Amino acid sequence: MAFSLGLQDWGAILLATGVFLYLKNNRRRSNYPLPPSPKGRLPVLGHALQFPTNHGWTTFERWGNELNSDIIYLDAAGADVMVVNSYQIIRDLFDSRSSIYSGRSTFPMVNELMGYDWTMPTLQYNSKWKAQRRIFSKFFSASNPSAYQPRITEFVGLLLPKLLDNPEDFIAHIKHMVGATVTSLAYGIKVQPTNDPNLRLAQDSLDSVLEAFIPGKYLVDQIPALKHLPEWLPGTGFLQDAKRGRETMVRLLELPFADAERQIANGTARPALVSMVLDDVREMTDPEEIEYTVRQCKELAAVFFGAGYDTTHATIINFFLAMVHHPEVQAKARSEIDRVVGFDRLPAFSDEEHLPYLRAVMKEVLRWRPVSAIGLPHMSSQEDVYDGYFIPENTLIIPNQRGMLFDPETYPNPTEFKPERFLSADGKSLNPAVRDPQTIAFGFGRRMCPGFHIATAELFLAAASILATFELSKAKDEAGNIIEPSLDVSAGITSHPLPFKCVIKPCSKKAEVLIYTNATQYDA
């Protein structure tokens, strides 16, 4: 059915936009000043056109240096935005004052137009969000490692022969391993060896959402009234993007869950989040409670599936990048593993406490190449004053996580990959005085990633198993020249390593036998 706007419709849109901007610009004044702002503020649009769409942390750090301030105010077409480059400020706001700094933006593009208004990362701090967290914690609590460690052990074990047989495709193998793990934990279903439709669906969904989350990418996030414009109007390509995103969202929500239901019914599904929640549903008698719980399960499984897949595989690939660029670190970590684990078995989770250097390597990977370089903004639910600065109600607060992880006062020479920064003087234990990058890399306050312990567990076992069995080095071209892997990252709200080549060779014949022997115990 065709849709068009008459003069009255256009007038309503312009009036709504004008009222929105008037109210924002004429909110109750405070006796306290706003934080400093970068130059170039325009009438009506404010700083909206200055928002960086690529590698935003660099711009945020530059603004902080120019203004000599760790907290920066931006007017995004009438919307209040603050960028925070300081860990201490973020902790003061998101942790100490979490009751008023745990909200989210309405995210007009992602939530309203694309339809992702049910995901834990984008939900407001409300009963629905709390219910999702409660369900996740019930089945995957950090205090119950038996719920996820055996599955991680299995899929890491199945990764190793793939690296041995086809090392050139190591990035694809890592993505498949992480995808198989989260799919198994969330849905209890297998993934196909190649081109799995559910993994493609997860990647398509992530690509569209993460693109939409880039600050300044879509003006509709600053001026929500634009969402009412017709698709045929020039300049409304964002509506077509939103339509494609919504179609992907529906498939992500429905298709893997339907696969799980079929396999549960025929007895081929493994215990997982979906099967355990549906077991609880069978004990319910209230139809509304059943419908609500099933919907919550469907949504939470999709969140676990998509979010867990993206950040974890990128972090493991960053580990490869670090080992290729720093062979001395690789050799030292392998020596520690050989001493603790030996050569007759693969590393296990029980070895972790005896591998302080490898644990320091993992922390440095998280710090040196944070996947979440810029965190999703929190929103203030009421007016506040911090360090003499006024923070209006409904202010979006963007944490510059990369800036915090590269703070030279906390991490001297931050561009260097140096695991020793996290060790005690004798190198036999971690130094608790050095800030753990996990406290930054996985978010803050009540909105900290609830599955960070699963991600770090998979990172540890993958790294330990790979170093115990393989040597990683830089690739060479046909002329024998070394190919230097790029240290740049992809543009976007999450920072993925750019594709690179490396050489992956088994440490010994005994390592090859161990890899194949270990993999035979699993039904691939």
* Rounded Cα–Cα distance for residues 457 and 145 (Å): 9
The Cβ-side half-sphere exposure at 435, using a 13 Å CA radius, reads 18
Other residues' Cβ atoms within 10 Å of the Cβ of residue 487: 15
| CA 303 to centroid of chain Cα atoms | 11
Here the tokens at position 336 are: 């520690």
Which region, left, alpha or beta, applies to residue 231 given φ > 0 means left and ψ of -120 to 50 means alpha? alpha
Residue with tokens 């909110």: 27
Query: What span, in angstroms and rounded, lies between the C-alpha atoms of 307 and 294?
Result: 20
Rounded CA-CA distance 392/401 in Å is 22
- Please name which of 202, 203, 165, 170 lies closest in space to residue 186, comparing C-alpha atoms: 202
Under the phi-then-psi rule, with left for phi > 0, alpha for psi from -120 to 50, and beta for the rest, what region is 480?
Answer: left
Measured between alpha carbons, how far is residue 80 from residues 25, 72, 74, 83, 396 in Å? 10, 11, 6, 10, 6
Could you tell me the sign of the dihedral formed by the alpha carbons of 50, 54, 57, 62, in that order? negative
- Cα Rg, the chain, nearest whole Å: 24
Euclidean distance between CA atoms 187 and 43, whole angstroms: 51
Measured distance CA(279)–CA(306) in Å, rounded: 23
Q: How far is CA 172 from CA 11, 176, 193, 317, 457, in A?
A: 52, 6, 11, 10, 20
449 labelled ligand-binding: yes
Helices (H) and strands (E) in the chain, counts: 16, 8
Q: List, as residue ranges, the binding site.
A: 449
Please enumerate, by residue number, every residue annotated as part of a binding site for heme: 449
